[in-house]
Amino acid sequence: MKNNFLLCGSVGWCLEVMWTGLHALLAGEPTMMGKTSLLMFPIYGCASLIGPVYKKICRFPTAVRGCFYTAAIYLTEFLSGSLLKHFHMCPWDYSSTPHHYKGVIRLDYAPVWFATGLLFEKILTKSS
């Protein structure tokens, strides 16, 4: 489980740097500067729970599992973001975007979280 936590934390960091770099490019920044925060590592590491959960829900269709992972990611993002925001440490703020909830989750990211959950499922089931 420790190795999966480290794997998920590292993959999450890499995905976030790529995602923020893409956003920078779309905003007209040719350097495509991506970024993340040290605080994100344990949050992404929580995706290691997908492995044991997958063993319980593997018989469900991919779409159902993806929806479950999306809801779990939203819950994790909301709880961790709310806690970090309380201590003025939250590295993200979606307040200026449409479709946000309390500035800590973006409802329009549902397809991203759906795909990300299934990606982590694939990574974790291959590494087992």
Show Cβ contacts of residue 71 under 8 Å, excluding neighbours closer than 6 positions.
Answer: none
Identify the H or E element spanning 105. strand 105-106
* The predicted structure's pLDDT at residue 58: 95
Q: What share of the chain in percent tops pLDDT 70?
A: 98
In the structure, what pLDDT confidence band is assigned to residue 19 with cuts at 50, 70 and 90?
A: very high
Residues 80 and 41: beta-carbon distance below 8 Å: no
* The predicted structure's pLDDT at residue 127: 62
| Closest alpha carbon to 118 in 35, 50, 56, 23 | 50
Q: What is the per-residue pLDDT across 53-102, written as a single tens digit (0 to 9) for each? A: 999 999 999 999 999 999 999 999 999 999 999 999 999 999 999 999 99
pTM confidence score:
0.92
Show Cβ contacts of residue 68 under 8 Å, excluding neighbours closer than 6 positions.
Answer: 53, 57, 60, 117
In the structure, what pLDDT confidence band is assigned to residue 2 with cuts at 50, 70 and 90?
A: confident
Indicate the domain borders of the chain. 2-127
The CA distance from 103 to 106, in Å, is 8
13, amino acid identity: W
